[in-house]
Amino acid sequence: MELNPYIDHTVLKASATVDDIKHLCTEAKEYDFYAVCVSSYYVALAHSELMQTDIKVAAVVGFPLGSMTTRIKVLEAQQCVDQGATEIDMVLNIGLLKSGYHKIVEDEIRSIKKAIGSQNLKVIFENCYLTTAEKKMACKLSLNAGADFIKTSTGFGSGGATLEDVQLMKNEVGNHLQIKASGGIRDRKTALQYLDLGVSRIGTSSGIAIVSTT
């Protein structure tokens, strides 16, 4: 099975340099990954590097804590799309979800989706901080708000993707939303396990290792 079309090739570390982003894009072209995933500042650079290809640019918004105001997240998402991003990976407001402020969380997701129109919106849950009930609620809110994907993790929390969480998410949304697994996926065997559960995309900085092994 070719895994390249499932990979969002990712560099989101705080120390990422301009050269790191250029290298990321070079690797994405060499290995024909689906997308690169970068911080909002680097969207224009990634778009420029990939302009003559079909590789998409995904941008993280409200990253990695999710606790920015809705207005700031919307502006960040709009700027990313204006600069060439075709996918937005937003961190939902984790604290408000845990506080039970579900309408505010849902409205924020809806506002960002409205701002980016036809571009894909992925809602990052950061499952390591959520109870089972909160994960289910996050699925419901994302579905109600018109998101396109739900995503397990930022990769910067206390834990990443788990098969159990992806199964729970799949059970909640069925085929109504796509799922992106991210955080700690570093080898082909693990990636295949997630794809077998119905994941549509793998977010990883280990894409080359994943596709280079048999």
* C-beta separation of 186 from 206 below 8 A: yes
Q: Is the dihedral of CA 63, 18, 5, 205 positive or negative?
A: negative
Measured in whole angstroms, how far is the alpha carbon of residue 15 from the centre of its chain?
20
Q: Would you call 15 helix, strand, or coil by DSSP?
A: coil
Written as one letter, the residue type at 39 is: S
The terminus-to-terminus CA distance of the chain in angstroms comes to 9
Residue 48 tokens, joined: 């420029």
Max alpha carbon distance in the chain (Å)?
Answer: 46
Active-site annotation holder among 8, 56, 89, 165: 89
Q: Is 89 a catalytic residue?
A: yes
Active-site annotation holder among 113, 122, 135, 180: 180
* Polymer length of the chain: 214
Q: Is 135 a catalytic residue?
A: no
Q: Is 180 a catalytic residue?
A: yes
Active-site annotation holder among 56, 73, 151, 165: 151
Listed as own residue / partner, the contacts of 94-102 with beta carbons closer than 8 Å and 24 or more positions apart are 94/65, 94/66, 94/67, 94/126, 94/129, 94/130, 95/66, 95/67, 97/130, 97/134, 97/137, 97/138, 97/141, 98/129, 98/130, 98/134, 102/137, 102/141
Residue 205 tokens, joined: 């900085």
Which positions are catalytic?
A: 89, 151, 180
